[in-house]
Chains A and B, each alone.
Chain A
Amino acid sequence: MRVLVVKFPGTNCDYDVIEALRKVPATYPELMWYRDAEPRGYDVVVLPGGFSYADRLRAGAIAAKSPLVERLQDYVEGGGLVLGICNGFQILVEAGLLPGSFLVNDSLRFICKWVNLRVENALTPFTCLFSEGQVIKMPIAHKEGHFYAGELSTDLVRSKRAVLRYSTRNGSITNIANPNGSDYSIAALIDTTGRVLGIMPHPERAVDPLLSQDGSVDGLLLFLSIKAWLGG
């Protein structure tokens, strides 16, 4: 699988995503500067986390206006997959590829910690190696992570487009387990085509058993899912 990892000015998880993808069999990640990046010919485009353009205006707002991101709509219609992680998710929302918007965390502070996530939908290219209802673990690291979509949020949950939701260890959705105040504890969201995923937690930080408290590699499973979905 050919993966294009895009670096904007201020992107800082690019290296981590490349390292994670190197663990996936027969996968060829390429890092490209946003001005040089052309999605055509790639199976997947990844927008990694970071602080593109220093979150000026709103997180992701400026990168969303780049020619590359504007071309993603066509790329997705042509069958391509797009994964936006953290700031990448914010960019996809700003670009209109995913609905909703992001507010500052309820604590008003940046939060970095491991969270539990309940898989709501295991029929997507990004989650097909999980099972519905399974609880997985990944770290979050963001200041503007409160997903807000008003009344639409109810539909997003009902239609299972809210692919992952923050939960307790046992899979209960509670206020305490919601780290940032997101609507319905939404942590990851897929578009109507089922080919664009925005995810607030960092799967690339959950690919090495040495780096997670319990030896889990749920982030790697997300990348392996993409490979499995695309076949062979």
Chain B
Amino acid sequence: MRAGSLAPTSLTAHEVEEVRRRLGREPTEVELAIFEATWSEHCSYKSSKHLLALLPTSGRRVVVGPGYDAGVVDVGEGYVVSIHIESHNHPSAIDPYGGAATGVGGVVRDILSVGTRPIALLNSLRFGKLENAHSKWLFSNVVRGIADYGNCIGVPTVAGEVEFDESFERNCLVDVVCIGVGRREELILAEAREPGSIILVVGNYTGRDGIRGASFASRPLDGEDDRSAVQIPDPFLEKLLIDATLEAVERRLLLAVKDLGGGGLATALAEIACKGGAGIDADLSKVHLRESDMQPTEVLLSESQERMIFVVRTEVLKQVTDILEKYEVPFSIIGVVTSDRILRFRWYGKIVAEVPVWAAVEAPIQERVVQTVHQFSRANTTLRPSTPDLHEAFFKVLSSPNVASKRYVFEQYDHEVGVRTVVKPGDGDSAVLKLPNGRFLSVKVDGDPQKCHLDPYMGAMNVASEACRNIVCTGAEPIAAVDHLQFGNPDDEDVFWSFYQTIRGLTDYFSTIGVPIVGGKVSFYNEDSTTRRAIKPTPVIAAIGLAPTHDSVTTMSLKTEGDALLVIGETSAELGGSEYYRVVHGIEQGQVPFVDPRLDLRIFGAVLTLARVGALKAAHDCSRGGFGATLAEMCVSGSLGTTIDLSSLPRVGELRLDELLFSEGRTRIVVEVPKKQIGFAASVFERYRVPYGLIGTVGGRTLRILYDDRTIIEAGLDELENAFEKPIPNMMGG
């Protein structure tokens, strides 16, 4: 892009008129650029704000809720944990390596923006079918991009999920979650409160990369000129920025920190001024630039990576700049905080924009009306395709890339750095980290577009339930969550209706179980660039939980020969959106499993009771792939076999064998309990009024699944391990 050749504004004619009305005059070019950034869907949530307000966001532990760069919860003993989720879907679709890497960088800076130390990364990735060459290219480069960035900055990538589905072939989804930890009294908020304090731009040189990234994210991909909207990653500078910021935070030198993300300086400065009830007077010509001939609008809208805003008192400015010089982090002093609540930008001293802060920040809400979609038949079909050869189907499901081991991915991530990772990738349903207060933090991210596509309300409940279930399976109690809602074009009635149903589902689930949503993002316009087909609705939930001591922490691997296996929860014939339907029958229809959040609460209570007294030797939830896959994973992980009887599974109605083996509903957890504790476990389950069954015994070198005396599946550990571990490496050529 050449200097001064910015594309015409992406504001609508109606919005430009609104700008005129608010200013009472014709806006300057720079002013229009501010509004374009702050009013973009990406920054303003103008289509979704009124619905997002439904989500439950408060709770005893919540210190900072939605609206800041990261949510913050109290974890006791003076410590807090921060969490944030970001996606880089559009950039990753175009430049998978750089797009994914810069996604990591951005979310890490969000964690720094509340004054906390980033301690873990998670990611949730979705691509087209892995057989497809384009998907392979996206997949390998996204993983490499995340690995190279996360490994270099020394933040471990500890958990995640990967899914392959046709609807993501041209619009892959790359969600990244970052977790931070800090002292409660050292928290800082991105608010410019004190007039006279100094504003610095810290970090990378501002260049033309990523200009208009926020508006790019707020429309569908169209190919040609999209590449200039993708930013260039520099993890080395990010590492120096992290070290410098944390040193300044520890020495209490910063009043406010803010990541320069979507919408660049325009959005970041408007937001800190708004939150602090102040104004800002900054000279854009003072920003350190990568290219000297940049125009003020370009400086304002650039989304060059690895940049932050620092707000500091004049008295400590020297100490802050000394730290930045020590770490060789470039910076420039661009202006001051004022009391007049006006954003005033200059260019070599001359005023080029003067906008009341409220006018820039409060985008006109587009209150879309949710249409009732009558014809939503995908979920309601009562299908019962004929039963296939079960042995063959079992292996087909287990080796589907959606179920098979993701070792290919997580071995490329440094998941150990920081020396906190107690439960590592592949070992448990979620990762568990040791916190400085002696507690243990369980973290996981989940999505399930298959089910959300069939029934967005119940699908969202399934996603929420699975994320919390995964936390519980490691012996931790869910304490907070963040959401990322990814949809197609909101102008499409079907898409917007799904969005509304998703929010209803999440609200109903999380308010019932009493877990607050402390942050989130919305990403619209995710659709195939050629077919214009929207992606399947993809709400992604990242949940965190706490375990009080290490004794409570549990993994999925079978532990001891002779222990009992029990299953908690009922199996149902609701196979809609299951891996079995997808890979064995090629069906994208059917009933989505019913979720009862009240029952979930009781199941969680029962499992955590076992964990607290040390009776929970292993736990694994039945989700993708169903009961059979759950058992196979427990066997492979523990290098131990088991014999179980399907006839002991509690169930809803009459079920066929394939339904018992492959159903992904409803909330069910398989637990390993020492033989002498069976009676105790049973009394706990009865007290909590949860259905359960004693299904078998741990031992041997084979997984044997019986129905009464009939053998349904019999497979040796090596055979299971091959089927589970080999598919992805084989498809990726070793």
By a beta-carbon cutoff of 8 Å, the part of chain A in contact with chain B is 9-10, 12-13, 15-16, 19-20, 33, 50-51, 53-54, 56, 107, 109-113, 139, 141, 143, 202, 204-205, 207-208, 210-211, 213
State the 9 A-B residue pairs at the shortest beta-carbon distance, nearest first: A12-B154, A54-B236, A141-B414, A51-B152, A16-B419, A110-B412, A112-B414, A205-B416, A139-B416
Neighbour of A51 across the interface among B151, B327, B410, B419, CB < 8 A: B151
State whether the Cβ of B684 lies closer than 8 Å to any Cβ in chain A. no
B50 within 8 A of A: no
Which residues does chain A contribute within 8 Å of B435, judged by CB atoms? none
**Nearest A residue (CB) for B154:** A12
A9-B327 contact, Cβ under 8 Å, with A51-B152, A51-B236, A141-B414: yes
Write out the residue numbers on chain B whose beta carbons fall within 8 Å of the beta carbon of A205: 416-417, 419
Nearest-neighbor residue (CB-CB) of B327 within chain A: A9
Q: Are A110 and B414 neighbours in the complex by a CB distance under 8 Å?
A: yes
A112 touches B416 (CB 8 A): yes
Instruction: Supply 20 further A-B pairs (C-beta < 8 A) apart from A111-B411, A202-B416.
Output: A9-B240, A9-B328, A10-B152, A10-B236, A10-B240, A13-B417, A51-B151, A51-B152, A54-B152, A110-B414, A111-B412, A112-B414, A112-B415, A112-B416, A141-B151, A141-B414, A205-B416, A208-B434, A211-B422, A213-B427
Which chain B residue lies CB-closest to A113?
Answer: B411
Complex alpha-carbon distance, A145 and B566, angstroms: 44
A202, B144: Cα distance in complex, Å: 22
> Are B422 and A12 neighbours in the complex by a CB distance under 8 Å?
no
Residue numbers in A under 8 Å from B144 (CB-CB): 109
Cα–Cα, bound, A57→B305 (Å): 23
What's the Cα separation between A139 and B418 when bound, in Å? Answer: 13
Chain B residues positioned under 8 Å from A15 (CB to CB): 418
* Most B-side CB within 10 Å, residue of A12, A15, A112: A112
Q: Check A204 against B152 for contact (C-beta < 8 Å).
A: no
Chain B contact residues, CB within 8 Å of chain A: 144, 147-148, 151-154, 235-236, 239-240, 326-328, 410-422, 427, 434, 550, 734
- Output the least CB separation between B234 and chain A (Å): 8
Complex interface: chain A residues within 8 A of B152 (CB): 10, 12, 51, 54
Q: How far is the CB of A131 from chain B (nearest CB, A)?
A: 26
| Chain A proximity of B516: nearest CB distance (Å) | 29
Cα-based distance from A16 to B412 in the complex (angstroms): 20
Identity of the chain A residue whose Cβ is nearest the Cβ of B235 in the assembled complex = A54
Residue of A nearest to B155 (CB): A12
**Contact between chains at A13 and B412 (CB < 8 Å):** no
Tell me the complex Cα distance, A33–B417, Å. Answer: 20
- B151 adjacent to A53 (CB under 8 Å): no
Q: Which residues of A contact B550 (CB under 8 A)?
A: 210
Interface of A (DSSP majority class)? mixed
Separation of A210 and B432 alpha carbons in the complex (Å): 11
The answer to whether B419 and A204 touch across the interface, beta carbons within 8 angstroms, is yes
Instruction: Verify A13–B154 contact, CB threshold 8 A.
Output: yes
Query: B151 near A110 (CB under 8 angstroms)?
Result: yes
Report A-chain residues with C-beta under 8 Å of the C-beta of B236: 9-10, 51, 53-54, 56
User: 25 pairs across A/B with beta carbons < 8 Å?
Assistant: A9-B236, A9-B327, A10-B152, A10-B239, A16-B419, A33-B326, A50-B154, A51-B152, A51-B236, A54-B152, A110-B151, A110-B411, A110-B412, A110-B414, A111-B412, A112-B411, A112-B413, A141-B416, A141-B417, A205-B416, A205-B419, A207-B419, A208-B434, A211-B419, A213-B427
Assess the B419–A208 pair: CB atoms within 8 A.
yes
Closest residue on chain B to residue A50 by CB atoms: B154
Instruction: Determine the residue in chain A with the shortest Cβ distance to B419.
Output: A16
A118 to chain B, nearest CB (A): 21
Q: How far is the CB of B390 from chain A (nearest CB, A)?
A: 33
* Distance of A18 Cα from B126 Cα, bound (Å): 39
Residues on the B chain within 8 Å of A111, using CB: 411-412
Report B-chain residues with C-beta under 8 Å of the C-beta of A141: 151, 414, 416-417
Nearest Cβ in chain B — how far from A121, in angstroms?
A: 26
Q: Which residues on A sit within 8 Å (CB–CB) of B422?
A: 210-211
Question: How close is A106's CB to chain B, nearest CB, in angstroms?
Answer: 10
- List chain A residues, Cβ under 8 A from B413: 110, 112
| Cβ–Cβ contact B417 & A211, under 8 A | no
Please, which residues of chain B bring their CB within 8 A of the CB of A50?
154
Residues in B whose Cβ lies below 8 Å from that of A20: 419
What separation, in Å, do the CA atoms of A9 and B324 have in the docked complex? 12
B239 touches A16 (CB 8 A): no
Cα–Cα, bound, A143→B151 (Å): 10
Q: How far is the CB of B158 from chain A (nearest CB, A)?
A: 11
Q: Which of B147, B153, B154, B416 contacts A110 (CB 8 A)?
A: B147
- Complex-state Cα separation, A141 to B411, whole angstroms: 9
Q: CA–CA, A56 to B151, complex, Å?
A: 15
Q: Give chain B nearest CB distance to A208 CB in angstroms.
A: 7
In the bound complex, what is the Cα–Cα distance between A112 and B413 (angstroms)?
6
Query: How far, in whole Å, are A12 and B421 apart by their CA atoms in the complex?
Result: 16
CA A9 to CA B434, docked complex, whole Å: 26
Interface centre among B154, B412, B419, B421 (most CB of A within 10 A): B419
A16's partner among B147, B153, B417 (CB-CB below 8 A) is: B417
With beta carbons under 8 angstroms apart, the residue of A9, A12, A107, A210 that contacts B734 is: A107
Expressed in whole angstroms, the minimum distance between the Cβ of A198 and any Cβ of chain B is: 19
How far in angstroms is the closest Cβ of chain A from B406?
A: 13
Residue numbers in A under 8 Å from B327 (CB-CB): 9
Complex-state Cα separation, A166 to B557, whole angstroms: 26
- Contact between A19 and B412 (Cβ–Cβ < 8 Å)? no
A222: min CB distance to chain B, Å: 15
Minimal beta-carbon separation of B560 from chain A (angstroms): 14
